[in-house]
A = this chain, B = another copy of it.
């Protein structure tokens, strides 16, 4: 897939707009203006807005899979893997954006089922991966934590998603750094 293909540009533009304004607040007109074509041309690539949304979330899930694989390869310790994961969110925070899933979750009831499914998949995959790393860390003695890894994973992911919301409401700052610190205190405290 060439990165300059129109379809890719459209997905990029849509992702930014959704993360900034929400699914129901962006239009083909916005996309057309950004990419530099007419609205009718967008329908050639994505017949309906739902099609675009589904394609976007599919790409988002694939990107996640790639990012997690990259972290697993590059990094050694479970703790630094978790930190790399959190970094994905701090980068989003710095952009003043929120997660695509978090944004779509608000509009959930207006979304097609296939899109709802992709959102759930993204979050589940993240959660499982986190739980895995926590479990590994405990096993190898890197992390001292007595609770269920799955519980800590769900809590961490929640606080990252919610942290992006709070951070944006505050108008900036680095709330996620705090979230990370508190998270590791939890893991090491037990």
Contacts and interface: CB of A to CB of B under 8 A. Distances in A.
Contact of A107 (B106, B166, B181): B106
Nearest to A121: B169
Contact of A179 (B98, B103, B104, B154): B154
Contacts of A182: 147, 151-152, 155, 186
Nearest to A185: B147
B181 A154 contact: no
A53 interface: no
Interface in A85-114: 98, 101-110
A53 to B, nearest CB: 13
Contacts of A110: 21-22, 25
**Interface class of chain A by DSSP:** helix
Nearest to A102: B165
Contacts of A22: 22-24, 106-107, 110
Interface stretch (A59-67, A76-84, A156-164): A156-164
A189 interface: yes
7 contacts: A21-B106, A21-B110, A25-B107, A25-B109, A103-B106, A155-B163, A161-B161
Interface of A: 20-25, 98, 101-110, 116, 119-120, 123, 127, 147, 151-152, 154-155, 157-163, 165-166, 168-171, 175, 178-179, 181-183, 185-186, 189-190
